[in-house]
Amino acid sequence: MAQKNNDEQFKNVISHAKEYGFVFQSSEIYDGLSAVYDYGQLGAELKNNIKTYWWKAMVQMHENIVGIDSAIFMHPKVWKASGHVDGFNDPMIDNKDSKKRYRADQLLENKIDELYSELANFSEANKAKFEAFQQEILGLSDEGQAAWVPGFKDEETILDHAQYPFVEEASWKFVKKGLALEVEMNLALKSENLAQLKDLIVNYKVICPISKTSNWTDVRQFNLMFSTQFGAMAEGSDEVYLRPETAQGIFVNFLNVQKSGRMKIPFGIAQIGKAFRNEVIARQFIMRMREFEQMEMQFFVRPGEDKKWFEYWKEARLKWHRALGTSPEKYRYHDHVKLAHYANAATDIEFEFPFGFKEVEGIHSRTDFDLTQHQEFSGKKMQYFDNDLNEEGKPYGNYVPYVIETSIGLDRMFLLTMINAFEEQDLSTEDKQDSRTLLRLHPALAPYKVAIFPLTKKDGLPEKAREIMDALKFDFNCIYEEKDAIGKRYRRQDAVGTPFCITVDHQSLEDNTVTIRHRDSMEQERIAIADLSDIIGKATSWKNLLA
């Protein structure tokens, strides 16, 4: 039931986003382009405000972080050096009956979730014990993990209760099978054993959700980068890629920025920009797109100080999210047990979407992998000379810096913001049925800060309202509306998240006062026109988020 409500809520957010001009399907009149979306008039405003919040927090509030804007096209060797040409693949599999294509690992993850759903029957204490045990197993060496599999795999294996005190027999047989599959899948992915992935799909009886059959092709690797030809003639021209992450534009400019900006380690380079991935399955609206936007920052540190800065950024980034007023239990860290070969620590900041906890942002300790790779592939030194003195009183000297990366998907942050703000309120009283749809956006993020309404279209009220708008529009994004009854105009602004509505009436002409209505409380008060700028300015100030 809860699942149904969540599905319903998610559907409502999607249709609300379209109805009020936040997000449209790309090329909709041609039936759309899968996993590509356009931001409408209010979506563009909200997106810009999220970018501003990130940019101010990361660049403007840090003396040692600067921002750049690098090109989408980069030299093809960049992607060889970064490992994307050889390793940025998803394993995919087709169902021969439905002709649908799936990511093999996602099919298996769905199966694991299905088996783990039995955890709902565990007591909270036993569930926590199981999760600790699961982390322990997943943290073992590959050989250590593989050794556990046979004992877990078989549903019927009887386990010694003394050894597994959290066992709840009826459900445990499914849960342990889930754990066996998780381990086997991880090992197969790590060793890129595609035949093994196929075997798991067959052996664990994974079926296609459309055809309901298990008539599968073999698993193949599918590179996620989009490529195109560079140069006028297709023949003889070079293949270039649309960047799959913005980070590499930062790495290749490391020395340019360090030298021209006279940056001293530790320092960061940030950028916001488009990234492109030919996702095998794109789904859940703007959650997984083929063209999307990232906000990334690479923080260059002394080798040996990487762990300290990783912890710093982990905390700082969660604080950034929480400042928006989201309830803390909606967020959690997901520390990676399995690390990419170049990382020595990684965590995801996850948000509880209606379809479960999912990654919004990644914080990765990438060691000196990227700069060292670029040094090797370009033949140019990517080193920094550190003339600060170490504990022995000698300069740290030349080294390739280590990097902590913070990488957040702007579109995911947008979706999170919409979901979090969306509320359908029942305002019915004994005498009257009533409701409203509200976007409870933080005022600093709201597309419009203030809506200005003349009570009627005559008696000089529109002129007075326009005069107020002309004074406020330099500082705030305002909207003027004179159509429909006041109540209807209020509802429309509630639905797009405008924190203030100002009504100009006949009294305004006499004493230069207006009524101001507050979006969340719906309270109205009479105030002097001269105080408007101050009131709106205080509520919508970036200081509320950044201080």
> Of 221 and 477, which has the nearer Cβ to ligand GAP?
221
Stretch that binds ligand GAP, among 136-144, 290-298, 443-451, 465-473 (CB under 6 A): 290-298
**What's the min distance (Å) between Cβ of 225 and ligand GAP?**
12
CB 411 within 8 A of CB 295: no
Q: Which residues contact 523 (CB under 8 A, 6 or more apart)?
A: 517
314 is a site residue for ligand GAP (CB under 6 A): no
84 is a site residue for ligand GAP (CB under 6 A): no
In the region spanning residues 388 to 427, those forming contacts with ligand GAP, defined by CB under 6 A, are: 405, 407-409, 411-412
CB 524 within 8 A of CB 455: no
> Of 270 and 504, which has the nearer Cβ to ligand GAP?
270
321 is a site residue for ligand GAP (CB under 6 A): no
**What's the min distance (Å) between Cβ of 251 and ligand GAP?**
10
What the block records as the tokens of 458 is 């005559």
What the block records as the tokens of 243 is 């960047």
Tell me the torsion sign for CA atoms 513, 519, 522, 523: negative
CB 441 within 8 A of CB 46: yes
Whole-Å CA distances, 275 to 49, 61, 167, 283: 19, 25, 45, 17
The residue with tokens 């909709």 is 28
**What's the min distance (Å) between Cβ of 88 and ligand GAP?**
9
Number of residues that bind ligand GAP (CB under 6 A): 19
368 is a site residue for ligand GAP (CB under 6 A): no
State which of residues 45, 296, 368, 494 lies at the interface with ligand GAP (CB under 6 A).
296
Binding characters for ligand GAP, 240-279, by CB under 6 A (x = yes): -----x-x-----------------------------x-x
CA distance 153 to 83: 34
The neighbouring-strand residues paired with 386 are 397
> Of 70 and 407, which has the nearer Cβ to ligand GAP?
407
**What's the min distance (Å) between Cβ of 415 and ligand GAP?**
9
CB 296 within 8 A of CB 245: yes
> Of 43 and 499, which has the nearer Cβ to ligand GAP?
43
Stretch that binds ligand GAP, among 57-65, 260-268, 288-296, 432-440 (CB under 6 A): 288-296
308, containing H or E segment: helix 306-322
CB 512 within 8 A of CB 530: yes
> Of 240 and 289, which has the nearer Cβ to ligand GAP?
289
CB atoms within 10 A of CB 467: 13
CA distance 152 to 175: 9
> Of 182 and 245, which has the nearer Cβ to ligand GAP?
245
In the region spanning residues 422 to 451, those forming contacts with ligand GAP, defined by CB under 6 A, are: none
23 is a site residue for ligand GAP (CB under 6 A): no
> Of 37 and 166, which has the nearer Cβ to ligand GAP?
37
Q: Which 3 state secondary structure label does DSSP give 244? A: coil
State which of residues 59, 92, 270, 289 lies at the interface with ligand GAP (CB under 6 A).
289
294 is a site residue for ligand GAP (CB under 6 A): yes
17 is a site residue for ligand GAP (CB under 6 A): no
Q: What are the helix (H) ranges across 422-501?
A: 461-472, 486-496
* Residue 85, amino acid: V
Q: Which of 407, 293, 306 is nearest to 366 (CA)?
A: 306
**What's the min distance (Å) between Cβ of 299 and ligand GAP?**
13
Chain residue whose CB lies nearest ligand GAP: 409
**What's the min distance (Å) between Cβ of 364 and ligand GAP?**
7
CA 541, chain centre distance (Å)? 24
**What's the min distance (Å) between Cβ of 268 and ligand GAP?**
14
- Kindly tell me the burial class for residue 389, based on how many C-beta atoms sit within 10 Å of its own C-beta (0-12, 13-18, 19 or more): exposed
Stretch that binds ligand GAP, among 62-70, 152-160, 163-171, 287-295 (CB under 6 A): 287-295
CA distance 412 to 66: 24
Binding characters for ligand GAP, 178-217, by CB under 6 A (x = yes): ----------------------------------------
In the region spanning residues 338 to 367, those forming contacts with ligand GAP, defined by CB under 6 A, are: 359-362
SS (H, E, C) 318-334: HHHHHCCCCCHHHEEEE
Beta strands 500-504 and 450-454 are parallel
Give me the residues that bind ligand GAP (CB under 6 A), please.
245, 247, 277, 279, 288-289, 292, 294, 296, 359-362, 405, 407-409, 411-412
